[in-house]
């Protein structure tokens, strides 16, 4: 029997729609479905990833059955076991460890949006542990926190051709990280005379190539750049005085604060042209301006929160908040918000007190969350609790290493590869090797799965339904149904955590028997049923502009959900947590000791700034490296540098460069790129699946060209608890040793 069924890709966050040809329960063909979200055939026409879906469904590398470690940890010896045997043993061991060490003994790690993470978070909440780790502090949380504290909720860029006059792309390159609908929008902007495009990035990216102004800012100086733009705008009287007078708190303080940030000072400090800086500031204030930022400013350590706060101030003083064509406050979800589905309120006060961030990262913890929640709930909105209280890897690793303040002895890894993607690989490896229990949910035996006690086969795209809501901070969800039941013995993440929960006494909290039923329950308050949603592929209620002018209970404009009811240029909340009332530039993370630098420079090596983690199509972090077509174009990881830097170091394209910090060493192939002369850009997430199933001692080649052997997850910023992947230093020099690959 042959059927045509709707389904979705899951190789990026867009989850594009497909029509699957299904024969006897197996998918034999796929084709794009432009009748469902994102409705644009051009997106898939330019995407190289979606064609992998058929191959991945039945790849010989897929894990299809539960596997239990049969030899020493990392030995590569596995035995197949039944689901009941695996889940019974995992549940029993977790219960024993909780009895010995308390519920905080269990930690978890997540990665990018390739699973529904609320099932894991629900399981953790009901188990009683606050120790979920992720990438939020260096990817999403800083912007969400600072938006919520400054405006009372998150904002999203509202790019409207013919209305938006300028678009700033700051610290992100959607041509590589997005490569989809948004990138097509930006390309159209670059080709149009109706909108001015400004790119803020140390590298000459595809965005910079089509921009009217490229500001090649020194990594980590973005806060100073924004303060310099504010100096120009306020000093020249370009701010929206009426909006500021009515809706902004602390303008006079901000005006005084930015006086020292003159164009000449900022241009020198940030390494940009003074004329371009002034021109960009004037453009920002000239009309309706939209701004999109990314991981480039989320990963600069101590300056993370101040940078986002300074950008919030830029939006506010120019009147570009809650305004069509600039940025709009997102709506609350009509569907059940993620904060309810993750059940974090089930944590008792005693379990919340186990949060390792308390007193160390005072915003990224339950104390900080409740302070912000008290504000956002004024307008009926709540941030997802698990993301915004996720534990610092530095603190969890310390508890694994020392047993202080209590013993963390078990770990669940869901849809991530921490030996490649978490900072300080050597430390992560040593800490994980000492655990009593590691359980990994994944498609493949990755280097991280190679050191697990159990590897559980996870259902992927086409085998699982999708309702992608990005934390539930807006009134949007998209995706669709599974085309087929999971192949072999794979299970969805929901099925796995529900089954563990049932074994650990959580039955009342897992009423829906399947992920599709759970999604249907989540949609129920909207009046839509699951079938309606699957036919359309998206539930979306466009946000209304100027919500701050809507009448409140007293008939007066409701304003913003902050302490003062206004946009807080000077924050009244952050000083309560030890944060800054006004944004200030922070210091840079240093990974090279003076002794290391002196010895390196004595032998002719250079001490430079390093960027890591920039996305490069068609790869994504440590994923898709097994694809031979992809690897033909990029066989291995590279370190990009300007021609001038290469000449100074005696390097040419294709040479091997050795990178060193006090944390370790790694080697990369040299590539020449247009970028700042004092910065290198290093690929990350590289291992070598072609070497076979990873095992000790090389674990798929993770020690040779893994930039995270150089990095540190040590807390530098003590508000959100971020660490640095950008604006960090390293030693670079030529290497005569060939790369093994």
Tally Cβ neighbours within 10 Å of residue 632. 8
Write out the E strands in 572-663.
Answer: 606-612, 638-641, 656-661
Burial of 389 (0-12, 13-18, 19+ CB in 10 A): buried
The answer on pLDDT for 572 being more than 70 is yes
The answer to whether the beta carbons of residues 661 and 592 sit under 8 Å apart is yes
The answer on pLDDT for 456 being more than 90 is yes
Give me the pLDDT at residue 112, please. Answer: 66
Burial of 268 (0-12, 13-18, 19+ CB in 10 A): exposed
Give me the pLDDT at residue 114, please. Answer: 65
Q: Which of 119-128, 459-468, 653-662 has the lowest mean pLDDT?
A: 459-468
Per-residue pLDDT averaged across 323-345, rounded?
A: 94
Closest CA to 113 of 398, 395, 479: 479
The answer on pLDDT for 179 being more than 90 is no
Highest mean pLDDT, choosing among 192-201, 346-355, 616-625? 346-355
Tally Cβ neighbours within 10 Å of residue 736. 7
- Whole-number Å distance between alpha carbons of 359 and 678: 37
Which of these CATH numbers, 3.40.640.10, 3.40.50.720, 3.40.50.740, 1.10.760.10, describes 67-132+335-463+478-540?
A: 3.40.50.740
Closest CA to 429 of 127, 721, 700: 700
Chain centroid offset of residue 467 CA: 18
The answer on pLDDT for 113 being more than 60 is no
691 Rama class: left (phi>0) / alpha (psi -120 to 50) / beta: alpha
CATH 2.40.40.20 fits 594-735, yes or no: yes
The answer to whether the beta carbons of residues 616 and 683 sit under 8 Å apart is yes
CA neighbours closer than 13 Å in the CB half-sphere of residue 576: 12
**pLDDT digits 0-9 by tens, 383-417:** 999 999 999 999 999 999 999 999 999 999 998 99
Give the DSSP letter string of 92-114: HHHHHHHHHH-GGGEEEEE-SSS
Per-residue pLDDT averaged across 83-108, rounded?
A: 98
Q: What is the pTM assigned to this prediction? A: 0.96
Give me the pLDDT at residue 108, please. Answer: 98
Give me the pLDDT at residue 326, please. Answer: 97
More confident residue, 699 or 181: 699
Instruction: Identify the residue whose tokens are 């992608």.
Output: 468
260 Rama class: left (phi>0) / alpha (psi -120 to 50) / beta: alpha
Per-residue pLDDT averaged across 108-118, rounded?
A: 81
CATH 3.90.1300.10 fits 155-329, yes or no: no
- Average pLDDT, whole number, for the chain? 94
Give me the pLDDT at residue 620, please. Answer: 82
Give me the pLDDT at residue 433, please. Answer: 98
CA dihedral 458, 461, 465, 469 (to 10 degrees): 100
**pLDDT digits 0-9 by tens, 226-263:** 999 999 999 999 999 999 999 999 999 999 999 999 99
- Whole-number Å distance between alpha carbons of 421 and 418: 5
Q: Which of 100-114, 263-277, 422-436 has the lowest mean pLDDT?
A: 100-114
**pLDDT digits 0-9 by tens, 690-728:** 889 999 999 999 999 999 999 999 988 889 999 989 999
**pLDDT digits 0-9 by tens, 409-435:** 999 999 899 999 999 999 999 999 999
């Amino acid at each position: 029997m042959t059927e045509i069924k709707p389904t979705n890709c899951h190789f990026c966050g867009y989850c594009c729609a497909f029509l699957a040809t299904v024969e006897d329960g197996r998918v034999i063909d796929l084709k794009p479905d432009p009748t469902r979200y994102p409705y644009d055939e051009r997106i898939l026409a330019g995407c190289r990833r979606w064609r992998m879906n058929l191959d991945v469904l039945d790849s010989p590398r897929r894990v299809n059955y539960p596997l239990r470690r049969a030899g020493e940890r990392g030995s590569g010896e596995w035995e197949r076991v039944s689901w009941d045997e695996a889940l019974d043993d995992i549940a029993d061991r977790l219960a024993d460890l909780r009895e010995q060490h308390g519920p905080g003994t269990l930690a978890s790690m997540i990665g990018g949006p390739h699973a529904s993470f609320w099932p894991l978070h629900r399981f953790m909440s009901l188990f009683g542990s606050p120790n979920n780790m992720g990438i939020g502090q260096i990817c999403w949380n800083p912007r969400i926190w600072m938006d919520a504290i400054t405006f009372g909720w998150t904002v999203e860029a509202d790019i409207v051709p013919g209305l938006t006059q300028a678009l700033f792309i700051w610290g992100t390159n959607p041509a590589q990280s997005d490569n989809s609908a948004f990138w097509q929008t930006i390309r159209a902007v670059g080709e149009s005379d109706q909108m001015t495009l400004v790119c803020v990035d140390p590298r000459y990216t595809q965005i910079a190539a089509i921009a009217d102004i490229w500001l090649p800012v020194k990594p980590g100086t973005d806060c100073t750049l924004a303060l310099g733009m504010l100096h120009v705008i306020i000093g020249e009287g370009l701010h929206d005085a009426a909006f500021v007078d009515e809706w902004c708190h602390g303008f006079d303080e901000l005006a005084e604060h930015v006086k020292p940030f003159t164009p000449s000072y900022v241009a020198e400090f940030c390494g940009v042209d003074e004329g371009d800086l002034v021109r960009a500031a004037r453009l920002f204030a000239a009309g309706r301006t939209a701004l999109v930022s990314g991981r480039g400013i989320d990963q600069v350590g101590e300056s993370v929160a101040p940078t986002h706060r300074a950008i919030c101030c830029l939006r506010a003083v120019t009147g570009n908040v809650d305004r069509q064509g600039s940025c709009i406050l997102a709506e609350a979800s009509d569907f059940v918000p993620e904060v309810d589905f993750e059940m974090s309120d089930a944590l008792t006060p005693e379990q919340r007190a186990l949060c390792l961030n308390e007193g160390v990262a005072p915003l990224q913890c339950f104390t900080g969350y409740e302070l912000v929640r008290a504000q956002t709930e004024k307008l009926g909105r709540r941030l997802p609790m698990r993301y915004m209280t996720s534990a610092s890897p530095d603190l969890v690793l310390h508890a694994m290493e020392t047993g202080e303040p209590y013993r963390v002895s078990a770990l669940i890894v869901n849809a991530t590869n921490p030996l490649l993607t978490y900072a300080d690989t050597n430390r992560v490896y040593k800490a994980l090797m000492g655990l009593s229990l590691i359980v990994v949910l994944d498609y493949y035996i990755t280097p991280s799965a190679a050191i697990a006690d159990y590897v559980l086969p996870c259902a992927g795209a086409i085998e699982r339904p999708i309702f992608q809501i990005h934390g539930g901070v807006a009134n949007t969800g998209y995706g669709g149904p599974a085309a087929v039941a999971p192949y072999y013995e794979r299970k969805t993440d929901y099925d796995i955590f529900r089954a563990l929960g049932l074994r650990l006494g959580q039955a009342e909290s897992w009423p829906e028997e399947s992920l599709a039923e759970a999604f249907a329950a989540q949609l129920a308050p909207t009046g839509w049923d699951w079938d309606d949603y699957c036919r359309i592929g998206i539930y979306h209620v466009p946000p209304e502009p100027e919500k701050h002018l809507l009448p409140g209970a007293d008939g007066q404009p409701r304003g913003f959900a902050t302490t003062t009811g206004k946009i807080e240029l000077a924050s009244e909340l952050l000083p309560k947590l030890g944060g800054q009332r006004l944004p200030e530039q922070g210091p840079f993370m240093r990974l090279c000791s003076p002794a290391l630098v002196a010895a390196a420079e004595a032998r002719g090596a250079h001490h430079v700034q390093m960027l890591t983690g920039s996305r490069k199509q068609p790869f994504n972090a440590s994923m898709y490296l097994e694809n031979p077509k992809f690897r033909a174009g990029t066989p291995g990881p590279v370190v990009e540098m300007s021609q001038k830097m290469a000449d100074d170091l005696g390097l040419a394209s294709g040479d091997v460069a050795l990178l060193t910090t006090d944390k370790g060493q790694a080697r990369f192939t040299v590539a020449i790129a247009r970028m700042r002369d004092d910065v290198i850009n290093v690929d990350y997430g590289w291992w070598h699946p072609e070497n076979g199933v990873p095992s000790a001692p090389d674990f798929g080649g993770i020690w040779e060209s893994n930039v995270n052997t150089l990095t540190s997850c040590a807390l530098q910023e003590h508000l959100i608890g971020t660490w640095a992947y950008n604006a960090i230093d390293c030693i670079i020099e030529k290497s005569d040793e060939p790369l093994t690959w």
